[in-house]
Structure formats: C-alpha cells, structure tokens
Amino acid sequence: MQLLKCENIHMNYDSTKAVDGVSFTVDEGDFLCIVGENGAGKSTLLKGILGLQKISEGSVDFNGIKKSEIGYLPQKTQVQKDFPAGVKEVVLSGRLGGKRKLFYTAEDRRIAQENMDIMKINSIKNKSFNELSGGQQQRVLLARALCATDRLLLLDEPTTGLDPFVTEDMYKLISHLNKEHGVTIIMVTHDVKSAIQYANKILCMEHDGDFFGTTEEYLKTAAAKRILGGDSHA
C-alpha cells in the first residue's frame, strides 16, 4: 500500500531555492534513504513533508496515515544534547503529539516502556538525558519518536557525530524496526555505503538532477558509481 506520494516539490528560503522539483513515493514497509550532496535540500524536504516548512509548489499526499502518526527525529542540535530531563520523561514526551497534557495515561506509560525495551535503554531509564553518550541519546530520541508512531519514522542524519561502531549499531536498530516491527522508514544520510546496505529505495538529490528508484537501480547510476567506485556492483 502506498503511504506517501510527493510530486514535483519546490521549496525556497526567501530567494534561495532549496528543493527543486522532487518526486517520489513511499510504500508501507519501505526503507527509503535520502542521500546527496550537502545543501541539496534533504533536510528541508523532510520539513516540507511534515508541514513544518511551506512548500511553494507541488504536493504531499498521505494515504491512510495521519500527520500525528509520523515520528520525527530531527538533526541533532545543542539544545537536544543539553536537554535537562530524565530519560523516561524524554521518551514519554513522544506521547504528547503536539497536544498539551496534564498527565500521561497508563497506555502512554505502557507504550513508552515498550519502546524503551525495543531500544534496549532500560538500564539507563533513570538517568538524566544530558549525561548520556551521543549513541545513547540517539536511542532515547528514537524511542521518543516511536512513541508517536509504530508506522512511519522520518530520521534526519541520525548517526551524525557517532563513532563507527555506534553508527553501525544504530543502523542495525533502525533496520530491525523496519524488518521486525514493520515501521516504514524515511532516513536522510550522507553515508551512501550504509544507505545501499539497508534501504530498499533511494532518493538521491543532486544539484544537477535527482534520482528516485530501487537500491538496485541506484547502483547502476553514474552518481552511485562515482561515490562507491568499484563497490557499486556489490
């Protein structure tokens, strides 16, 4: 089933063109990686899909999924790293869904606990968020995003700043969510080698034109061959 269809999306910052006519679709169960050079508009596109930033032209159509059922992990900011709250609180806050709540329900707490189990962060659940390592913080933020949804996750460079081992762990965890829990994933990454390992579809945004298709089709493109060299037939 098709979950999302984006057609000919254009986005600007004042007079700067940030996204220039991007089209792609996402089916339930897909793992789509958005790759491409810096400044190609990947983060801006995610914000456009979420309605956090205005689209000047084109359309974003969700099919059978509400905006409130989308989990979003934005690019890491200093504010996030220094978030002065406990791990449990951070995960639970994913149940707010933009609403103000005076208290969390038993169901909210059950879902938060379930996601802390999936992310294997039970042993740190009573710690303060800002005393965790970068990798632990990302796990907590993923658990938080999962509290909003078990259907569609939008992840913006979730491994930035993590060391190679923790990065691989993170990708495996995201892949596990996709394969074992059926969560559809849209992930921005600059790491093309990992993208082709885990994603079944690739959107490659380049200043001189985009590619959208299966990972196998992407491997045959000149852009993939340029980046991956001899590995592109792997």
Q: Is the dihedral of CA 118, 124, 127, 133 positive or negative?
A: negative
Nearest one of 167, 217, 166, 222 to 189, comparing CA atoms: 167
Q: Is 43 in the site for ligand ADP (CB under 6 A)?
A: yes
* Residue 222 · residue 52 · CB < 8 Å: no
> Under the criterion CB under 6 A, does residue 76 sit at the interface with ligand ADP?
no
Tokens of 79: 């504010």
Shortest Cβ 12–ligand ADP spacing (Å): 8
Among 44, 167, 215, 232, binds ligand ADP (CB under 6 A): 44
Q: State which residue, 42 or 88, has the beta carbon closest to ligand ADP.
A: 42
Smallest distance from ligand ADP to CB 187, Å: 12
Least distance to ligand ADP from the beta carbon of 97, Å? 25
Structure tokens at 160: 């930035």
Residue 15, interface with ligand ADP (CB under 6 A)? Answer: no
Closest contact distance (angstroms) between CB of 39 and ligand ADP is 4
Query: Can residue 136 be called a binding residue for ligand ADP (CB under 6 A)?
Result: no
CB of 76 to ligand ADP, least distance (A): 13
Binder among 38, 77, 123, 126 for ligand ADP (CB under 6 A): 38
Would you count residue 174 as binding ligand ADP (CB under 6 A)? Answer: no
- Rounded Cα distance between 181 and 118, Å, is 10
Q: Residue 136 corresponds to which amino acid?
A: Q
Q: Is 184 in the site for ligand ADP (CB under 6 A)?
A: no
Residue 39 interacts with ligand ADP (CB under 6 A): yes or no? yes
* Pairing, β 184-188 against β 152-156: parallel
Residue 10 token pair: 């254009």
Confirm or reject binding of residue 41 to ligand ADP (CB under 6 A): yes
Please, which residues have CB within 8 angstroms of residue 187's CB and are 6 or more apart in sequence?
31, 32, 33, 34, 153, 154, 155, 156, 158, 174, 195, 199
The runs of H, that is alpha helices, within the chain are: 42-50, 78-81, 87-92, 106-118, 134-148, 164-181, 192-198, 215-219, 222-228
Q: How far is the CB of 46 from ligand ADP (least distance, A)?
A: 8
Closest CB to ligand ADP among residues 125, 190:
190
Q: C-alpha 16: how far from its chain's center?
A: 24
Nearer Cβ to ligand ADP, position 14 or 107?
A: 14
**Residue whose C-alpha is closest to residue 71's, from 152, 138, 159, 181:** 152
Question: Per CB under 6 A, does 18 bind ligand ADP?
Answer: yes
Residues near ligand ADP (CB under 6 A) are 13, 16, 18, 38-44
